[in-house]
Structure 1
Amino acid sequence: MLFGAIFRCLDPALTIAASLAFKSPFVSPWDKREEANVRKQTFALANSDHLALLQAYKGWSAAAKNGHQAGFLYTRENFLSARGLQEISSLKRQFTELLSDIGFVKEGLKARVIERMATKGTDGVLEATGFEANLNSDNTKLMSAMLCAALYPNVVQVRAPEGKYKLTSKGAMKMPPKAEELRFMTKSDGCVHIHPSSVNYTVRHYDSPYLVYHEKVKTSRVFLRDCSMVSVYPLVLFGGGQVSVEMHKGEFIVSLDDGWIRFAAASHQVAELVRELRWELDQLLEDKIRMPSMDLCTCPRGSRIIHTIVKLISTQ
């Protein structure tokens, strides 16, 4: 939530934060499980269950603008719990009040006042917090990065099998692995599996070899009920632990969590820039907590750091 406020993507960050406190609003009736999973896939975005939920919530809010009945029909058609979505709305307002109390958003915002500010179908948070606090709310890469801050150290490595090739008229072409051939590893549990209800269950390729997750369940195997792909820079910037840079076989390797997360930087300068940005971000957060009245949007140092990080994440 704090980073959502700092990086001006407050409303979606609060939606995701609130959703993590409750059971998923996606429902899966035993006699319509396959149909429910198909509907859930329509919300899939950036290999992320959490962004899929955000899409569903936004769709529900948009539908509800046409009246209570329209909102109810939307939940029925998309296998969503209306009560679950309403609980997320309520908790979002409470979170906003908390952030207001500690100086991260406008002063004096109270949950009951925010509810009264809501226009038809909305939860009132966007109206209460304003444009500036939500300037980057449509930046999907930035929202994925915020998940690192929320879910670290729940990190999964994605390991693909050795490549297979198929001979075509244009020569040998590398074939993508089947979804069931991918292996998912956590530091504590070893091999885990993507739950069939996840939007990532049938994914065959990930642009990044890392996922973050919120909930693990153990039945016959250990399953990740919800997970999201994240890039390496956000993991370094928003994850915990010490960041180290070292030379290995001619490459500059940035790593954290005792090497569990590691990647090769384009150059030594890039590696040091990432480490320096991480330090600057930590300092900025400490300064803001110590001086709640400090406006990071107008503070030259703060706005420069935030702009640089947003640009780095958005162009990766």
Structure 2
Amino acid sequence: MSPPDQKAVERTLHFLHEIQALSLSDGTFGKDHEHLSRQQRKLTARQLRKQRKQMARNATKNANIIVISDDDDGGKDANSQPEPLPSKSSYVGLPGDNAPLSPLGEHLARLPMNPQLAKLLILGALFGCLEPALAVASCLNYRDPFEIPLDRQISAAKGRLGLSQNTLSDHWVYVTVVQNFRQLTSGVERYRFCQEYFIRDNVVSEIIRLMGDYARLLHEYRYIATPSPTDPGANINMNNFPLFRAILCGALFPNILKLVPQIKDGRVCRPKVHARPSEGDISINPKSVNGNVWPADPVWMVYFAKTRMDNSTCSTVLDTTIIPLRPVLFFSGSIQSNLIDSTVFTVDNWIKVQANPVLFRLIRDLRACLDDILESKFRCPSVTNWDPSSAEGRVLHTVVNLLANELVPTVQTQRYPWEPKTLERPSGGDGVQSSQSKLTAPHLDNQKQDV
């Protein structure tokens, strides 16, 4: 067995730090990071890179020691004493006996899945969206429930678009599939449902079983009151899709894309997909419900999986959900203010945001309060207190209202394969088809607030 490559270890450490699973001490990083000067920010970033490299070197060095030790075991005397393995602290490159996992990282390490999906489960439980979070995490961690014959691609695409319920989300398709399947009581009804949408019933049954297993783990870690995926207290916001897409953003960050509209000769063309500079070129799978989306204005997406075909020059994103801007501000990485223009802010060192400074300060202060609540939950898990008279309940209700009151971005669509070829495509803003979520919480008013 070959030891891990040092650069691969560095990338892993950087990823764990981005999803808040790893605690790195840089001396200055904190809630006031956005007020640092450019020189201080560069110093902070340099300190983090140096610390990650040191940790990666130590991890690679100790992996080499273990590999060499295993290879030499055959030539040693059976009565000889084994050499002691390196201490736990030397693996992580930090002094002391404790690994630099954050409180959240400790919980993510205990859940048997990708850390982003584990984070989705925890956030879903804390924000009252448990069942949708369980459905999405189980599907992404296990397998896609769809099995589409090559000669039925058009029918399958039309059915998948219907299952999305106009939410502009591949992930909500999984939620709809699981909910509809569970509501059908007879085997005949389930068979017809699966045949209509090209779904494998045995896969959905396994996904439902996994949802129960993951719910029991969350109950064991005290995030929910009962071990049931349908626990009422943990599903108080299960139909609040605007909140759920914000939770998706928090869990899947930094997997964020930006769709930028393209206009040629006065006509709207296929948008350009922008990812972080380190990601390179990316495209969206045509099978995605957002594969034909052409935004009128730049919009943001979150995704979980991407792949690269042998004959392709860029990676392809397999699953997407279109999100507005506020979830990015609440659940992203560091936010830095522009020292020249007080209305411009930079998120995660590449996302440019123009916002009213007063509203931005409100979001920043709310985010700080939310971070404190989440940190306390990660350190000492407990069931969420939604009582408006409590400090926790007031903050959460305010955050939920702010996230749920932001409208879905307006988009237009290319002609779908099942539509007649004589259908005129939109141009110059004419023929815009507004796609807005039908799954908003009934007690919340959808009032537009510009960020």
- TM bracket, shorter-chain basis: 0.7 to 0.9
Percent of matched pairs sharing the same residue: 27
SS of 1:85's partner is helix
Q: Kindly tell me: are residues 248 and 233 of structure 1, through their superposed partners in 2, closer, same or farther at Cα, counting changes over 3 Å?
A: farther
Paired position in structure 2 for 1:277: 366
- The aligned counterpart of 1:186 is 275
Task: Please list every run of 5 or more consecutive structure 2 residues that lacks an aligned counterpart in the other structure.
Answer: 1-120, 407-451
Contact 2:126 2:384 in 1 (8 A): no
| Aligned residue type for 1:154 | N
1:189-200 matches, within 5 Å, as: 189-200=279-290
Q: Which residue of 131, 154, 161 corresponds with 1:41?
A: 161
SS across alignment from 2:395: helix
Residues 266-288 of structure 1, C-alpha deviation per residue, up to 9 Å, x if partnerless?
Answer: x2121111112222222111212
Q: Do the aligned residues in 2 keep the contact of 1:145 with 1:230 (CA within 8 Å)?
A: yes
Q: Residue 198 of structure 1: SS of its match in structure 2? A: coil
Q: Aligned pair in 2 of structure 1 residues 301, 207: CA closer, same or farther (>3 Å)? A: farther
Structure 1 residue matching 2:203: 3-state secondary structure: helix
Question: Which residue pairs with 1:224 in the alignment?
Answer: 317
Contact kept? 1:48, 1:199, Cα under 8 Å: yes
Give the secondary-structure state (helix, strand or coil) at the position aligned to 2:287.
Answer: coil
Aligned letter for 1:255? T
Residue 94 of structure 1 aligns to a residue in which SS? helix
2:170 and 2:319 in contact (8 A); partners too: yes
SS at match of 1:11: helix
Counterpart pick for 1:148 among 230, 246, 249: 249
Paired residue for 1:246, among 327, 338, 358? 338
CA distance in 2, matches of 1:227, 1:206: 18
Secondary structure at the residue paired with 1:161? strand
In the alignment, which residue of structure 1 is the partner of 2:353?
263
The separation in 1 between residues aligned to 2:318 and 2:153, in whole angstroms, is 15
CA distance in 2, matches of 1:227, 1:247: 34
The answer to whether 1:52 aligns with 2:173 is yes
Q: Which structure 2 residues correspond to residues 117-128 of structure 1 after superposition, within 5 A?
A: 125-126=229-230
Deviations 1:226-246 (A, max 9, x none): 11111111112122x212233
How much has 1:293 moved relative to structure 2? 4.1
Q: Is the 1:3–1:146 Cα contact (8 Å) retained in structure 2?
A: yes
Residue 237 of structure 1 pairs with residue 330 of structure 2: yes
Contact 2:273 2:282 in 1 (8 A): yes
- Structure 1 73/159 Cα, relative in aligned 2: closer, same or farther at 3 Å? same
TM-score (norm. length: structure 1): 0.82
Deviation at residue 207 of structure 1 after TM alignment: 6.3
Q: Which stretch shows the higher mean deviation, 93-102 or 299-308?
A: 299-308
39, 48, 68: which one pairs with 2:187? 68
Q: Does 1:306 align with 2:396?
A: yes
| Pairwise CA distance, 1:198 | 0.7
The aligned residue for residue 262 of structure 2 is 161
Q: Does structure 1 conserve the Cα–Cα contact (< 8 Å) formed by 2:223 and 2:383?
A: no
Tell me whether 1:27 sits opposite 2:27 in the alignment: no
- TM-score, L = length of structure 2: 0.58
Q: Is the 8 A contact 1:245 1:272 kept in 2?
A: no
- Render the CA deviation track for 1:194-236: whole Å, top value 9, x for unaligned: 1121111111226662111111111124211111111111112
SS of 1:17 mapped into structure 2: helix
Q: Which runs of 5+ in 1 are unaligned?
A: 115-124, 166-174
Computing the radius of gyration from Cα coordinates, the structure with the larger value is 2
Q: CA deviation at 1:153?
A: 0.8
Give the residue type in structure 2 aligned to 1:106.
A
> In structure 2, how many angstroms separate the alpha carbons of the residues matched to 1:193 and 1:89?
31
Of 116, 123, 134, which residue of structure 2 is paired with 1:14?
134
- What amino acid is aligned across from residue 178 of structure 2 in structure 1? Y
In structure 2, do the counterparts of structure 1 residues 248 and 84 end up closer, same or farther at CA, with 3 Å as the change threshold? farther
Larger strand proportion of the pair: 1
Q: Secondary structure at the match of 1:263?
A: strand
- CA distance 1:40–1:96, shift in 2 (3 Å): same
Q: CA deviation at 1:290?
A: 2.6
Describe the shift of the 1:80–1:231 C-alpha distance in structure 2 as closer, same or farther (beyond 3 A).
same
Q: Structure 1 residue 297 and structure 2 residue 417: aligned?
A: no
Give the aligned residue type for 1:279. Answer: A
Determine the C-alpha separation between the residues in 2 that align with 1:24 and 1:248. 48
CA RMSD of aligned residues (A): 2.0
The aligned counterpart of 1:171 is none
